[in-house]
Amino acid sequence: MQYSIEWTAPAARELRKLDRSVQRRIVRAVTELGSDPRPPGAKALVGHPAGVMRIRAGDYRVVYEIEDDRVLVTVVRVAHGREVYRKL
């Protein structure tokens, strides 16, 4: 089953600020979430509702929410590993 991918406005803004090569790496990783929203290496975020996960894309992290009932993955945040959890 293929999941739809949505980006929140803040996540899309964060992505646009990054270098093109980093953007491509992140977009590739997010696109792959459509076919497998829980890939190996994805981790559930502790202290957040069920379905909030993160994946690594190089030095960057992508925080996203999975809605199985709507077959939807929503990208919530994109940031460097040391900054990503500050505003969650």
In this structure, is residue 56 part of a structural domain?
Answer: yes
Angle at 21 between CA 17 and CA 22, to 5 degrees: 55
Is residue 87, in this structure, part of any structural domain at all? no
Residue 65 counted as domain residue: yes
Instruction: Name the residue range of residue 33's domain.
Output: 4-80
3-state secondary structure of 33: helix
pTM for the complete prediction?
Answer: 0.92
In a domain, 85, yes or no: no
Walk along the chain (88 residues) and give the pLDDT tens digit of each residue: 899 999 999 999 999 999 999 999 999 999 999 999 999 999 999 998 999 999 999 999 999 999 999 999 999 999 998 888 777 6
> What is the total count of domains within the chain?
1
Regarding beta strands 4-7 and 52-57, do their DSSP bridges make them parallel or antiparallel, or are they unpaired?
Answer: unpaired
CATH of the domain at 75: 3.30.2310.20
